[in-house]
Structure 1
């Protein structure tokens, strides 16, 4: 349940910022950042036009906040499954299980960062937000690879990240909701080839220390 939904359940009215961000999440993710103008977001949110500029400064600021919220949502989904697994190897594969859950969400429409970046100039807020998310995900793969005893964690992390990216693209472009399962199987084969046997002293149920999700930018 989102923070806005929780507040509604308590009878609290969401703030203008929260309503704008919720509207941006719905419209930008479904239709694209460039296809949706700020007037539609404002109308959908039911706020005054001045509220957008007071809260985010510009459409670019709203897009950045939207992507940061997707970062929080995606990272929270991945970290939520980590306690299910007892070893670093299992947690590496668990990332693909979390991805599989997202593919079966009725609202799944591909990667928000890929879609936004395809339309954005280099060096802007969209690229910065996308880089932050991708750096977090690559860092998670790499830190778990190191914990699992990979001889070259950075290379293994990059390889697993490529499988993750390919799975996302296939799920969207091929409408293949089983893509994460196929990527997981490929990842398992890769881990079997490069990792040493799992250590007997691995702490079952212990989630790794990972970078926390990005905090929502306060405008």
Structure 2
């Protein structure tokens, strides 16, 4: 089997497993179910992923890459930091306004596998990466305390995802967007005042 063919098979397994993990939960989906849904032999799955945990880690790594790519696209497509914030939460709403959306894949994974150091480490890396991205956005906006603003934006982002998971309602994304824009406007006013008094 060529490298390209192996990669295609691994991608197929990962796509099927990832979709099932997110919709139904990691513990609820066994290897046998993935094998049936992907229409492959169990030996084929284990040739690409040595264990279920390896498959979960690959799924989370892929989700992390997609989330970060989506955030980077927002910045690349619009130079205005305030509109970037609005777009980030609008996109979150679009994702959440889907009956199969269950919340943050990383928080869900930790809730199910908090005893796995690899999964917890990946989840923390993801949360730090999103927070760092939001801090950098606040820094580019010229705010006096971008670390604090970044943490607050990350809290709104995570909180909206958590409420969606609990209530099954996408509206918290809009509430978080409104709060994020209010926070942005307040920080912009403070930065403007500080600049005038300097």
Which TM bucket (shorter chain)?
Answer: 0.7 to 0.9
Moved more, 37-46 or 100-109: 100-109
Task: Give CA-to-partner distance per residue, 1:137-180, whole Å, 9 cap, x none.
Answer: 11110101111111111111111111111111222212222211
Query: Which residue number corresponds to residue 120 of structure 1?
Result: 113
Task: Tell me the SS of whatever aligns to 1:149.
Answer: coil
Q: Which has the higher contact order (CA 8 A, sep 6+)?
A: 1
* Contact persistence 1:149–1:196 (CA under 8 A): no
Query: Which residue number corresponds to residue 52 of structure 2?
Result: 59
Question: Structure 2 residue aligned with 1:181, among 174, 193, 196?
Answer: 174
Task: Tell me the SS of whatever aligns to 1:65.
Answer: helix
* Contact persistence 2:104–2:161 (CA under 8 A): yes
Unaligned runs of 5+ in 2: 193-198
* Contact persistence 1:17–1:55 (CA under 8 A): yes
Aligned residues: 188
Counting only pairs closer than 5 Å after superposition, residues 42-57 of structure 1 correspond to structure 2 as 42-57=35-50
Structure 1 distance, partners of 2:72, 2:120, is 24
* Contact persistence 2:14–2:58 (CA under 8 A): yes
* Contact persistence 1:117–1:127 (CA under 8 A): yes
Q: How far did residue 87 of structure 1 move?
A: 1.7
Query: Which residue number corresponds to residue 138 of structure 1?
Result: 131
Unaligned runs of 5+ in 1: 1-11, 200-219
After TM superposition, the score normalised by the length of structure 1 is 0.77
Query: Which residue number corresponds to residue 152 of structure 2?
Result: 159
Task: Give CA-to-partner distance per residue, 1:25-46, whole Å, 9 cap, x none.
Answer: 1211111111111111112111
Structure 1 distance, partners of 2:74, 2:93, is 12
Q: How far did residue 123 of structure 1 move?
A: 5.4
Counting only pairs closer than 5 Å after superposition, residues 192-203 of structure 1 correspond to structure 2 as 192-196=185-189
Task: Tell me the SS of whatever aligns to 2:113.
Answer: coil
